[in-house]
């Protein structure tokens, strides 16, 4: 079993990972089963710009979080029994705790100022679709889903789901407000009976079939035109 031990600092942890990857004696580490994994994550949470900042250091083993440092708490807390020894040890190291607490400014706010010029002003308009969760006839209980994807920043106001019994001819709408939009977006979903849907599909099918016949006719026409010999111009008799 290969055990990776991360040191105190973030950069030392990164250096440790680099050494593990580059060292030839540990080349067999790629064959280590996936459940022998130690993951270290640093998260910066910003509220109203940098007015309030929260730093989280989260450590995982076997895909389960076992230890966490929360700047709002100011010390390490064990998430599972596995993290109790480390939490006790690291909380006794006052210099380490002071370093972690200071990283709210030296790490989070520092990187925010770097990214502020191009990331914070970024805007991406959401894509909104409304659809029934199940494909079934009207008059049956169904769940209408309003899907909002691809937006930035993360704050969005929307009505996500509507649980109802759709009636033929009714119109259901989803209204979305987001900072990237100059005005709210409203997407509609119209309930159609099976007969109406059948007529619509028949109309679409007939239209496509008509286009196909027109395309075939034009193809045959131009093909015949190319096969005919060109007419020679007739000269005037003197």
Query: What is the crossing angle of helices 84-91 and 94-103, to 10°?
Result: 90
In the chain the domains, ranked by start, together with CATH numbers, are 10-115 (3.10.320.10), 127-194 (2.60.40.10)
- pLDDT the model gives residue 141: 63
Region of residue 103 (phi > 0: left; psi between -120 and 50: alpha; otherwise: beta): alpha
- pLDDT the model gives residue 14: 36
- On whether the CB atoms of residues 132 and 166 are closer than 8 A, the answer is yes
Give the long-range contacts of residues 100-103, CB within 8 A, separation 24 or more.
100/55, 100/57, 100/69, 100/71, 101/71, 101/74, 103/10, 103/55, 103/71
- pLDDT the model gives residue 162: 57
CA-angle at 96, arms to 90 and 98, nearest 5°? 125
pLDDT tens, the chain, 238 aa long:
333 333 334 333 333 333 333 333 344 445 555 556 899 999 999 988 899 999 999 999 988 999 999 999 999 999 999 999 999 999 999 999 999 999 999 999 999 998 888 777 788 888 888 888 776 665 556 677 888 888 887 777 776 555 566 666 677 788 888 888 888 888 888 776 555 455 555 667 677 777 887 787 777 777 777 665 555 544 444 4
- pLDDT the model gives residue 35: 59
- The contacts of residue 32 (CB under 8 Å, 6+ apart) are 1, 2
- pLDDT the model gives residue 29: 46
Whole-number Å distance between alpha carbons of 71 and 104: 7
């Amino acid at each position: 079993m290969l055990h990776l031990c991360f040191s105190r600092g973030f950069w030392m942890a990164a250096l440790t990972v680099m050494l593990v990857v580059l060292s030839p004696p540990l080349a067999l580490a790629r064959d280590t089963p996936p459940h022998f994994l130690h993951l270290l994550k640093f998260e910066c949470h910003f509220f109203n710009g940098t007015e309030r900042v929260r730093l989280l250091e989260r450590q995982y083993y076997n895909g389960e979080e076992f230890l966490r440092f929360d700047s709002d708490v100011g010390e390490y807390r064990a998430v599972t029994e596995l993290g109790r020894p480390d939490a006790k040890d690291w909380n006794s190291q006052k210099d380490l705790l002071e370093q972690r607490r200071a990283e709210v400014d030296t790490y989070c706010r520092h990187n925010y100022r770097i990214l502020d010029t191009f990331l914070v002003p970024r805007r991406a308009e959401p894509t909104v679709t409304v659809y029934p969760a199940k494909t079934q006839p009207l008059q049956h209980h169904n769940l209408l889903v309003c899907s909002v994807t691809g937006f930035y920043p993360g704050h969005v106001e929307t009505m996500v789901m509507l649980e109802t019994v759709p009636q033929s001819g009714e119109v259901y709408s989803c209204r979305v407000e987001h900072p990237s939009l100059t005005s709210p977006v409203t997407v509609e979903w119209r309930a159609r009976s099976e007969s109406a849907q059948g007529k619509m599909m028949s109309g679409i099918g007939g239209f496509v079939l008509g286009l196909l016949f027109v395309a075939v006719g034009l193809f045959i026409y131009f093909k015949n035109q190319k096969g005919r010999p060109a007419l020679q111009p007739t000269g005037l008799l003197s």
